[in-house]
Amino acid sequence: MVTLGCARNEVDSEELAGNLHERGWNLVDGEDSADVVVVNTCGFVESAKKDSVDTLLAAADTGAKVVAVGCMAERYGQELADQLPEADAVLGFDHYAQLAERLDDVIEDRPLASHQPRDRRTMLPITPVERPAAAAEVAVPGHGWVPSTRVTRRRLDDAPVASLKLASGCDRRCTFCAIPAFRGSFLSRKPDEVLGEAAWLATQGVRELFLVSENSTSYGKDLSDARALETLLPRLAGIDGIDRVRVSYLQPAETRPGLVRAIATTPGVAPYFDLSFQHASETVLRRMRRFGSTESFLGLIDQIRELAPEAGIRSNVIVGFPGETEEDFAELRDFLTRARLDAVGVFGYSDEDGTEAEGFDGKLDEDVVAERVAAMSALVDELTDQRAEDRIGSEVRVLIERDTEHEDGCAGRAEHQGPEVDGECLVTDPGTVAVGDVLHCRVIASEGVDLVVRPIGDEPERQRSGETP
């Protein structure tokens, strides 16, 4: 099983692995010994599509059968199969429940029709509260085909942090984004299902739950409970064995004061805000079909820091969007300078198949977009380095993810640092620690966005045994 793309894909792969294991398939290490290589592809942007194709070709070179699943397979289906004959099958989300049987077909060289894409937004009712009842008839990764009475997920690593899916799909219509068309309309997982999987993860050595979805701020709107996430967070944090709960992908326009308070002040919930600003100019935001402005975004940041001054705040921005003027670009620079974010991803605009923005006028030349990406990235590097320096002298709780035996030294993440993208804490003089321990440390230096920390106090906090509540 090879996984590309985001944390949501990682969850899908672990659920597929569990599903396959229950039906007689064995997961092996390394492609060379496999009968079938299942590649969970990403189809979000052009570079991710290229990575997916390269990975499929590399898998075919091993001599194993190759099956493409995931977002690129769902999005392009038969078109991908026609252009990539090296793949023995291209299967969409509708095949996930019967993936074991489809792999049997591949091994036996039985004819297997490739996935035929369709707009998955049309598969659930328009009214959110009507969706849970209809969801049983629709294949949604992480919903339905995984029995709610037991966990069929199988972990593909032993890291002390694991992603946990809150919901799938998105109801927003951002003009640059194709995700809703192939991931479908927004659908929350039921709280008891989320809690049950979280408790199971705790028994597998997980200390941090990373809650993922396309839009976590929408959680519960289809369950007739707009505050569902606010009430779910303390229940997740209370699971025995879980030390930290982290929420990802918050839409600024939907981030209500109650949710800000819940994330900023609930014990066991990381004061961490992954806010998808995308831009700061009102003109550009409206062309993106998004809401907000420099001042409203700064007001939201002020709310967060009033409740949790040391909170981590990260975001992504798109530069070079069609019609973006020098003044719009300057406003985004000003916003980021004033916002003092901990981490920022900078992306240059490029057309995505089937999106509204693909047909917009006012497209900027590629060299202009590249220049703006370079200039904004340089500014972001300077600003985030400064933000890291501001944390020198502060105290942090570090979840250890690499112990002293690792060639890169002992390291982990503090509460303000999200997995993989936000830097890490490099631990000096750690003593005897193991992956999964939590150390109380003081920040003594910074290296870019990374912090150098030294333990204070005595013994590390070790994990309690997780139990289902």
Detail the residues annotated as belonging to a binding site. Answer: 6, 42, 71, 170, 174, 177
CB 251 within 8 A of CB 245: no
CB 129 within 8 A of CB 226: no
Please give the C-alpha separations between residue 377 and each of 51, 164, 336, 381, in angstroms, as whole numbers: 23, 30, 11, 6
CB 255 within 8 A of CB 294: no
Q: Please give the backbone phi and psi of residue 17, each rounded to the nearest 5 degrees, phi first.
A: -60, -40
Q: Token digits for 150? A: 């037991």
- Cα gap 294→281, rounded to integer Å: 7
Long-range Cβ contact pairs of 45-51 (< 8 A, separation 24 or more): 45/347, 45/350, 45/352, 46/350, 48/4, 48/5, 48/72, 51/4
- Cα gap 362→375, rounded to integer Å: 21
Q: Token digits for 64? A: 């194993």
The alpha carbons of the chain give a radius of gyration, in whole angstroms, of 22
Q: Dmax of the chain from CA atoms?
A: 64
Phi-psi region of 201 (alpha: psi -120 to 50; beta: other; left: phi over 0): alpha
Count of helix runs (H) and strand runs (E) in the chain: 14, 17
Q: Which residues contact 443 (CB under 8 A, 6 or more apart)?
A: 391, 392, 393, 394, 395, 396, 425, 451, 452, 453
Annotated binding residues for [4Fe-4S] cluster: 6, 42, 71, 170, 174, 177
- Cα gap 242→381, rounded to integer Å: 33
Q: Which residues contact 382 (CB under 8 A, 6 or more apart)?
A: none
- Give 338: exposed, middle or buried? Use CB within 10 Å, 0-12, 13-18, 19+: middle
CB 119 within 8 A of CB 181: yes
User: Pairing relation of β-strands 208-212 and 187-188?
Assistant: unpaired
Q: What is the 3 state secondary structure string of 224-284?
A: CCCCHHHHHHHHHHCCCCCCEEEECCECHHHCCHHHHHHHHHCCCECCEEEECCECCCHHH
